[in-house]
A and B are shown apart, each in its own frame.
Chain A
Amino acid sequence: MRISTLFYLIKQGMKNIYRNKMFSLASIATMTACIFLFGLFFSLVTNFRHIVKVAEEGVGVTVFFNEGLSESEIQELGKKIEKRDEVMHITFVSAEEAWEEYQQVYFKEHPELADGFKDDNPLANSAHYEIFLKSVEKQDSLVDYLTSLEGVRRVNHSDVVANTLTDVNMIVAYVSVAIIIILLAVAIFLIGNTITVGIAVRKEEIAIMKLIGATDIFVRAPFVIEGAVIGLVGSAIPLVIIYILYNKVIQFMAEKFSILSLEFLPVDNIFRYLLPVSLAIGLGVGLFGSLTTIRKHLRV
C-alpha cells in the first residue's frame, strides 16, 4: 500500500469520527469511563497488594524446639526450614535475645523488676526461629510441615490474619474483574454502534467505491482506523486524569490516615503497567468493536 493511500485512509477515518461527532463522543466517553475505572481499580488493587505484601512480610510463624536440643541440631533444623519454597527468610532468636526483647517490652518502665532474675533466664527454653513467608496463602502447608519435624516443640502462627488477607485479596480481584468486563462489553457495544452509524451515513460512498474497484481493505480501513482512534483516545484521556489525580489522592490519604502509616506505591510504579495495559485495552476494544461491526454490516 502506498504511503499516500495510507494517509488518505487515516484522514478518512478521522473524518468519520468528525462526521459522527455525537456518536464518537459517546463512544470515547464510555471508553474513558471504562479505562478510568480500570485505572482506579488497578491503582487500588496494586496498592492494596503492596500493602498486603508489606503486611505479609510481617506475618511470621514461630518455631520452638524440644528441651535440650543441641546447637548443631537447631542449625540443622534451620537449614531444613530455609530450603522450603514457602519461606522468604528465617531469623534465629536465642533464649538470651528473647529475654532481652521481653525486658525491652515489659520492664522498660521498671528495669529493677527484671534485676530480680539476675542470671537466671526465665525464658531459657524460648530459643526459636522466626519464619517469614513469601505469601500468607502458603502458611497452612508450612505449619503442617513444621509440626511434623522432629525436635519441634511448638509452632505459633495466626490463622486469622493469614486467612483474612487472602480472602480480601480474592474479593477485590473478583469484583474488579467483573466490573471491568461489564464496562468493556458496554464500550465494545457503543463503538460498534458508532461504526454502524458511520457505515449507514457512508452507504452511497461505499457503493460507489465498490463500483469503481476499491478493494475490501480500502473500503474497511477507515472504519477500522475510526475504531482504533476512538479506543486510543478513550484510554489516553483517563490516563492523564489518573496521573494527575493519583499523587493528590495518595498525599491526601497519607495525611488523613497517617495513624495507619500506609505506604502507597509511587505513580511511576503504577504507570509502568497501567499505561501499556490501558492503551492496549483501548486499542483492542476499538479494533474488536469496529471489526465485528464491519464483518456484520459491511459486506464488500
Chain B
Amino acid sequence: MIHLENVRKEYIEGNAAVNGIALHVEKGEFVFVVGDSGSGKSTLIKLLLKELEPTDGEIVVNRTHLKSLKKKEIPLFRRNIGVVFQDFRLLKDRNVYENIAFAQRVIETSTKKIRKNVPAMLSLVGLAGKYRSYPKQLSGGEQQRVALARALVNEPTLLLADEPTGNLDPKNSWEIMKLLEEVNRRGTTVLVVTHNREIVDAMKKRVVTMKKGVIISDEKKGGYLYEN
C-alpha cells in the first residue's frame, strides 16, 4: 500500500525534515507513526498525499509512483485516500449532512447515491441523529467523527490521520480510535500520526517512531518508545 525508499525532504537546502527514510506498509495494516514536533511526521503525511514533492527518493502509494504522477492525475489519486486532521477542518457554514455529502459532491457522485451513503456513514460514526447540526453545535469528539465520516464516505483504501485525537479528551480519543480500528477491520489501511502515548501503548499495533527526520524504530505490536 505504502512504499517509501530513501525519501528525503528539504524545505531549506541542507536541512532535511525527512532524511532518507524507508517505510513499507502493506494493505490492511494499522500503523502508528509517533515522534515529537519536528520529527517529520506531518511532512510524511504531506508527501504521501503529494502535497509536497520529495527532494530525493521514491514514493509509491496504492501502486502509484508519485514521481511520475502528472498534476491533472493528482485528484484521482487522492480519491482513494481519506484524511483526518487534528483541527477537524469541517466547513462551518454547512451542517453535518452537507459536510459529508460535500466529499461525495467533489468526486461527482450522483445525488441518489449521496442520499444513501451519507446516512449510512453517519450511522457508522454514531451521529445519525445529528445530521442537521452545524459544527459549532457539536463537541470536539463529534466534530472529529464527522471529519472521519467525511474521510470514509468515498470508501478510500488508505486512511491517513494526522493527530486525530490531539484536540480531544481521553474518552473521545478512545471513541475515535475504536472507530479507526473498526474501519481498519473492514479492510482500510490506516496510518495514524499521534502523540497519544496511552492509546499507542494500549492498542498494540505496529508503531513507527521518528526522530529528527529519520525512523529510529519500527515495531510490530509495539509501544510508545519515544521519550521527550
Instruction: Chain A residues near B75: list those with CB within 8 A.
Output: 210, 213-216
Q: CB distance B108 to A211 under 8 Å?
A: no
Bound CA–CA A88/B37 (angstroms): 88
Interface centre among B75, B76, B79, B107 (most CB of A within 10 A): B75
The residue of chain A having its C-beta at the shortest distance from the C-beta of B147 within the complex is A208
Q: CB distance A212 to B107 under 8 Å?
A: yes
Q: CB distance A212 to B106 under 8 Å?
A: yes
Instruction: Chain A residues near B154: list those with CB within 8 A.
Output: 212-213
Interface assignment of A1: CB less than 8 Å from any CB of chain B? yes
Q: CB distance A2 to B79 under 8 Å?
A: no
The residue of chain B having its C-beta at the shortest distance from the C-beta of A208 within the complex is B89
Interface centre among B79, B81, B108 (most CB of A within 10 A): B108
Instruction: Chain A residues near B106: list those with CB within 8 A.
Output: 209, 212-214, 218
Q: Mark A208-243, 1 if CB is under 8 A from B, else 0.
A: 111111111010000000000000000000000000
Nearest CB in chain A: distance from B86 CB, A: 14
Q: CB distance A5 to B105 under 8 Å?
A: yes
Q: CB distance A4 to B79 under 8 Å?
A: no
Q: CB distance A2 to B108 under 8 Å?
A: yes
Interface assignment of B70: CB less than 8 Å from any CB of chain A? no
| Residues of chain B in range 76-91 having any CB-CB distance to chain A below 8 Å | 76-79, 81, 83, 89, 91
Interface assignment of B191: CB less than 8 Å from any CB of chain A? no
Q: Mark B186-225, 1 if CB is under 8 A from A, else 0.
A: 0000000000000000000000000000000000000000
Q: CB distance A213 to B76 under 8 Å?
A: yes
Contacts A2-B110, A215-B72 aside, 11 further interface pairs with beta carbons under 8 A come to: A208-B89, A209-B106, A212-B83, A212-B103, A212-B106, A213-B75, A213-B78, A213-B154, A214-B106, A216-B75, A218-B108
The residue of chain A having its C-beta at the shortest distance from the C-beta of B72 within the complex is A216
Q: CB distance B107 to A213 under 8 Å?
A: yes
Nearest CB in chain A: distance from B206 CB, A: 25
Task: Give 3 nearest A-B pairs by CB, closest first.
Answer: A213-B79, A213-B78, A214-B106
Instruction: Chain B residues near A76: list those with CB within 8 A.
Output: none
Instruction: Identify A5's interface contact among B49, B103, B108, CB under 8 A.
Output: B108
Interface assignment of A106: CB less than 8 Å from any CB of chain B? no
Instruction: Chain B residues near A211: list those with CB within 8 A.
Output: 49, 51, 78, 83
Q: CB distance A212 to B108 under 8 Å?
A: no
Nearest CB in chain B: distance from A152 CB, A: 74
The residue of chain A having its C-beta at the shortest distance from the C-beta of B104 within the complex is A212
- Contact sample, A vs B, 20 pairs, CB 8 Å cutoff: A1-B108, A2-B108, A4-B110, A4-B111, A204-B89, A207-B89, A208-B91, A210-B78, A211-B51, A211-B78, A211-B83, A212-B78, A212-B79, A212-B102, A213-B78, A213-B154, A214-B75, A215-B72, A215-B75, A218-B108
| Residues of chain B in range 130-152 having any CB-CB distance to chain A below 8 Å | 150
Nearest CB in chain A: distance from B80 CB, A: 8
Nearest CB in chain A: distance from B10 CB, A: 22
Q: CB distance B91 to A205 under 8 Å?
A: yes
Interface assignment of A252: CB less than 8 Å from any CB of chain B? no
Nearest CB in chain B: distance from A255 CB, A: 56
| Residues of chain A in range 60-117 having any CB-CB distance to chain B below 8 Å | none
Bound CA–CA A211/B49 (angstroms): 8
Interface assignment of A8: CB less than 8 Å from any CB of chain B? yes
Bound CA–CA A210/B108 (angstroms): 14
| Residues of chain B in range 45-81 having any CB-CB distance to chain A below 8 Å | 49, 51, 72, 75-79, 81
Bound CA–CA A2/B105 (angstroms): 10
Instruction: Chain A residues near B81: list those with CB within 8 A.
Output: 213
Instruction: Chain B residues near A214: list those with CB within 8 A.
Output: 75, 106-107
Instruction: Chain B residues near A216: list those with CB within 8 A.
Output: 72, 75
Nearest CB in chain A: distance from B192 CB, A: 17
Bound CA–CA A275/B72 (angstroms): 39
Instruction: Chain B residues near A205: list those with CB within 8 A.
Output: 91
Nearest CB in chain B: distance from A105 CB, A: 81
Bound CA–CA A7/B89 (angstroms): 25
Nearest CB in chain A: distance from B152 CB, A: 12
Nearest CB in chain B: distance from A266 CB, A: 48
The residue of chain B having its C-beta at the shortest distance from the C-beta of A218 within the complex is B106
Instruction: Chain A residues near B105: list those with CB within 8 A.
Output: 5, 8
Nearest CB in chain A: distance from B174 CB, A: 26
Interface centre among A205, A214, A216 (most CB of B within 10 A): A214
Bound CA–CA A20/B181 (angstroms): 42
Bound CA–CA A290/B53 (angstroms): 29
Instruction: Chain A residues near B108: list those with CB within 8 A.
Output: 1-2, 5, 218
Bound CA–CA A215/B108 (angstroms): 10
Bound CA–CA A216/B75 (angstroms): 8
Interface centre among A2, A5, A204, A213 (most CB of B within 10 A): A213
Interface centre among A8, A212, A213 (most CB of B within 10 A): A212
Nearest CB in chain A: distance from B95 CB, A: 14
The residue of chain B having its C-beta at the shortest distance from the C-beta of A2 within the complex is B108
